[in-house]
Structure 1
Amino acid sequence: MQIIASAGSGKTEVVSQRVADLLVEGVQPEAIVAFTFTERAAAELKERIEARVTTRLGPEIIDQLNGLFVGTIHSFCFRLLQQHVPKYETYDVLDENQLAAFVSREARRLGVRQFDPKQRLFASVQRFLQNVEVVDNELLEFNDLPDDFQTVLENYYAALTRYRLLTFGQQIRAAVEELQKPDVASRVHETLRFLIVDEYQDTNPAQEELIRRLTGSDTELCVVGDDDQAIYQWRGSDVDNIVTFERRYAPVTTFEITSNRRSRPEIVEVANGFAQSIPNRLVKEMNPTRPAEGSSPRVLVWRSADEMEEARWITDLVLDLNEAGVPFRDIGILVRSGVAFGRLLEQFNAFNVPVQPGGRTGLFEQPEAIVLGMTYCWLSGINWRKPYQYGEQVELSSLLDQYATVFKLRGEPHKNRVKKVIKQWQEHAQTKDRSADLVGDFYELLDVLEVRDWDFDNLVRFNALGTLARFTSLLADYESVRRRARLDAEVHGEQVGGEWGGEWYYKNLALHIVNYAQGAYEGFDGEPDLTLDAVDITTVHRAKGLEWPAVFIPSLTKKRFPSFRTGRQQDWLIPRPLFNATRYEGTDADERRLFYVAATRARDWVSVSRHDRVTTQAVQPSPYWEELEDHQTDPNDIVLPPIETQSDGDVDTLAITFSELASFLDCGLAYRLRTLVGFPPRLAPELGYGKAVHHLLRHVAEHTQRTGVVPTDDELEQMLDSHFFLPTANKVGHREMKGAARRLIGNYVKNYEPDLHRVWETERPFELHLNGVRVSGRADVILDKEGGVPAGLAIVDYKTSADSDIAAYELQLQVYANAGRREGLDVRAAYLHDLNGTREAVAVDTSRLGSAEGIVEGAATRIRDRDFEPSPGKRCRACEVRTICNARAR
Structure 2
Amino acid sequence: MGHHASCSGTRQTGGARMSGLVDGDARHRFACELDKNFSVIASAGSGKTRAITDRVVKIAKSPHAVDWLPQLVVVTYTNRAADEMQQRTRQQILEAHLSLDVVEAFNRAFFGTIHSFCMKLLAAHGHHLGLPANLELITDDDDVWNQFVQQYTTVGRSLSEGNRRVLLRFLQARQLMELARNAEIDLAAEEPSASCPDTSFAEVYRASESRAPDSIASAKAELKRWEKRWRDTDEFVAWPACATTSREFVRIWCEAFRPLRDWVNACALCVAAEVQRDYREFRLERGLVRYADQVALAGELMRLPDVAPRVRDKNYRVILDEAQDTDPQQFFVLLEVARPPEASGAWMDELSGSVRPRPGHFCMVGDFQQSIYRNPADLARYRELHELLVATGAAEELKFSVTFRLDTAQLEFVNATFGEILNNQDGQVAFVELSPRPEILLGQVIRLDFNCDIDRDLPELQRATLEARELAAWLSDTGLGKLRAESWRQVAILCPRKAWLRPLREALVEADLPVEVHSETDRVGESPAYTWLTALLAIMADPNAGYEIVGVLREIFGLSDDELHRFSEGFGARFQIAERSSSRGSVADTLNRLFRIREAIARQPLFSAVKEIVRTTQLRERLRSLPKEEFGDLNSELDELLSIAATAEARGLSLADFGQSLRANFYATRETHPSPRDAIQLITAHKAKGSEWHAVIVPFLTRDVRDAPPRYPRAIKDVETDEAHILFDRTDASEFDEKLKQIERQEMERLLYVALTRAKHTLVLAFDRQFFRNARGQFHRNSQISWLRAGDDECNCQVMAALSSEARECPETCLRQKSAPRERVSEHLGKRELGWVDDARRQGVRFVHTISPSKFAPEEETGFAERADVWIEIEPELRPPRIDGPATRYGLWWHEFVQKIPWHSQPDAWQATFDENVVDSPDPARSKREWKLLSEYVSTNRDFFAGNIFAEMPFFWRMDEQKCLEGIVDLAVWRPAETKWFILDWKTNWIEREELDQLRAYYRPQIACYWKAVAELTKRPVAAGIYSTATGCFVPYGEKQLQQEWARLKTLVADQFAAETGRVESDEVADSSGQLEFGEC
Answering whether residue 176 of structure 2 is matched by residue 32 of structure 1, we say no
Conserved 8 A contact 2:468-2:503: yes
Q: Distance in 1 between matches of 2:640 and 2:109?
A: 36
- Structure 1 segment 602-613 matched on structure 2, within 5 A: 602-609=759-766, 611=768, 612-613=770-771
SS in 2 for 1:334: strand
Q: Distance in 2 between matches of 1:395 and 1:322?
A: 44
Partner of 2:49: 12
Choose which of 357, 371, 386 in structure 2 pairs with 1:230.
371
SS in 1 for 2:40: strand
CA separation of 1:182 and 1:244: change in aligned 2, threshold 3 A: closer
Conserved 8 A contact 2:39-2:397: yes
Answering whether residue 354 of structure 2 is matched by residue 354 of structure 1, we say no
Choose which of 562, 565, 570 in structure 2 pairs with 1:397.
562
Partner of 1:267: 410
**Can you list the C-alpha shifts for 1:695-752, whole angstroms capped at 9, x where unaligned?**
xxxxxxxxxxxxxxxxxxxxxxxxxxxxxxxxxxxxxxxxxxxxxxxxxxxxxxxxxx
Conserved 8 A contact 2:528-2:623: no
Choose which of 479, 491, 495 in structure 2 pairs with 1:321.
479
CA drift at 1:596: 0.4
Partner of 1:21: 58
Conserved 8 A contact 2:702-2:772: no
CA separation of 1:631 and 1:300: change in aligned 2, threshold 3 A: farther
CA drift at 1:42: 1.1
- Structure 1 segment 502-517 matched on structure 2, within 5 A: none
Partner of 1:198: 321
Conserved 8 A contact 1:93-1:168: no
Q: Distance in 2 between matches of 1:20 and 1:866?
A: 42
Answering whether residue 689 of structure 2 is matched by residue 652 of structure 1, we say no
SS in 2 for 1:266: helix
Q: Distance in 2 between matches of 1:351 and 1:415?
A: 46
Partner of 1:571: 713
- Structure 1 segment 573-652 matched on structure 2, within 5 A: 579=723, 586-609=743-766, 611=768, 612-613=770-771, 620=780, 621-622=783-784, 623-627=786-790, 628-630=796-798, 632=800, 637-642=805-810, 645=817, 649-650=823-824, 651-652=827-828
**Can you list the C-alpha shifts for 1:154-189, whole angstroms capped at 9, x where unaligned?**
331222122112211111111111112233222222
State the AA in 2 paired with 1:546: S
Unmatched 5+ residue regions in structure 1?
Answer: 387-393, 404-412, 486-496, 674-681, 683-864, 880-884
Choose which of 285, 288, 306 in structure 1 pairs with 2:433.
285
Q: What's the Cα RMSD here?
A: 6.1
State the AA in 2 paired with 1:267: Q
Conserved 8 A contact 1:668-1:868: no
State the AA in 1 paired with 2:468: A
SS in 2 for 1:33: strand
Partner of 2:692: 547
Partner of 2:1047: none
Conserved 8 A contact 1:82-1:89: no
CA separation of 1:169 and 1:606: change in aligned 2, threshold 3 A: same
CA separation of 1:365 and 1:69: change in aligned 2, threshold 3 A: closer
Q: Distance in 1 between matches of 2:681 and 2:517?
A: 8
Mean alpha-carbon deviation: is it higher for 199-208 or for 300-309?
300-309
CA separation of 1:277 and 1:120: change in aligned 2, threshold 3 A: same
CA separation of 1:456 and 1:398: change in aligned 2, threshold 3 A: closer
SS in 2 for 1:288: coil
CA separation of 1:498 and 1:471: change in aligned 2, threshold 3 A: closer
Conserved 8 A contact 1:321-1:640: no
Choose which of 160, 174, 185 in structure 2 pairs with 1:134.
185
- Structure 1 segment 753-764 matched on structure 2, within 5 A: none
Partner of 2:137: 94
State the AA in 2 paired with 1:192: N
Q: Distance in 2 between matches of 1:85 and 1:58?
A: 36
CA separation of 1:185 and 1:446: change in aligned 2, threshold 3 A: closer
Q: Distance in 2 between matches of 1:156 and 1:329?
A: 46
Choose which of 136, 146, 149 in structure 1 pairs with 2:272.
149
CA separation of 1:629 and 1:68: change in aligned 2, threshold 3 A: same
CA drift at 1:605: 1.2
CA separation of 1:668 and 1:602: change in aligned 2, threshold 3 A: same
CA drift at 1:594: 0.9
- Structure 1 segment 597-746 matched on structure 2, within 5 A: 597-609=754-766, 611=768, 612-613=770-771, 620=780, 621-622=783-784, 623-627=786-790, 628-630=796-798, 632=800, 637-642=805-810, 645=817, 649-650=823-824, 651-652=827-828, 661=840, 664-668=843-847, 670=849
Conserved 8 A contact 1:91-1:166: no
CA separation of 1:210 and 1:37: change in aligned 2, threshold 3 A: same
Conserved 8 A contact 1:331-1:549: yes
**Can you list the C-alpha shifts for 1:800-831, whole angstroms capped at 9, x where unaligned?**
xxxxxxxxxxxxxxxxxxxxxxxxxxxxxxxx
Conserved 8 A contact 1:227-1:243: no
Q: Distance in 2 between matches of 1:228 and 1:311?
A: 29
CA separation of 1:288 and 1:887: change in aligned 2, threshold 3 A: same
CA separation of 1:85 and 1:140: change in aligned 2, threshold 3 A: farther
Choose which of 281, 286, 300 in structure 2 pairs with 1:177.
300
CA drift at 1:415: 9.6
CA separation of 1:672 and 1:420: change in aligned 2, threshold 3 A: closer
Answering whether residue 392 of structure 2 is matched by residue 247 of structure 1, we say no
CA separation of 1:6 and 1:664: change in aligned 2, threshold 3 A: closer
State the AA in 1 paired with 2:479: L
Partner of 1:160: 283
Partner of 1:345: 505
State the AA in 2 paired with 1:598: A
CA drift at 1:530: 6.3
Mean alpha-carbon deviation: is it higher for 55-64 or for 159-168?
55-64
Q: Distance in 1 between matches of 2:125 and 2:40?
A: 31
Conserved 8 A contact 2:60-2:106: no
CA separation of 1:346 and 1:118: change in aligned 2, threshold 3 A: farther
Q: Distance in 1 between matches of 2:439 and 2:527?
A: 45
CA drift at 1:15: 1.3
Mean alpha-carbon deviation: is it higher for 78-87 or for 453-462?
453-462
State the AA in 2 paired with 1:268: L
Q: Distance in 1 between matches of 2:154 and 2:640?
A: 28
- Structure 1 segment 798-837 matched on structure 2, within 5 A: none
Partner of 2:907: none
State the AA in 2 paired with 1:30: P
Q: Distance in 2 between matches of 1:540 and 1:669?
A: 41
Conserved 8 A contact 1:550-1:605: yes
CA drift at 1:313: 3.2
TM-score normalized by the length of structure 2: 0.49
Partner of 2:350: none
Q: Distance in 2 between matches of 1:625 and 1:198?
A: 28
Larger radius of gyration: 2
Conserved 8 A contact 1:456-1:462: no
Q: Distance in 2 between matches of 1:50 and 1:216?
A: 27
Conserved 8 A contact 1:266-1:299: no
CA drift at 1:558: 5.0
Q: Distance in 2 between matches of 1:340 and 1:23?
A: 47
Unmatched 5+ residue regions in structure 2?
Answer: 1-37, 157-167, 193-265, 341-357, 455-462, 552-558, 569-581, 726-735, 791-795, 853-879, 881-1053, 1070-1074
CA drift at 1:350: 2.2
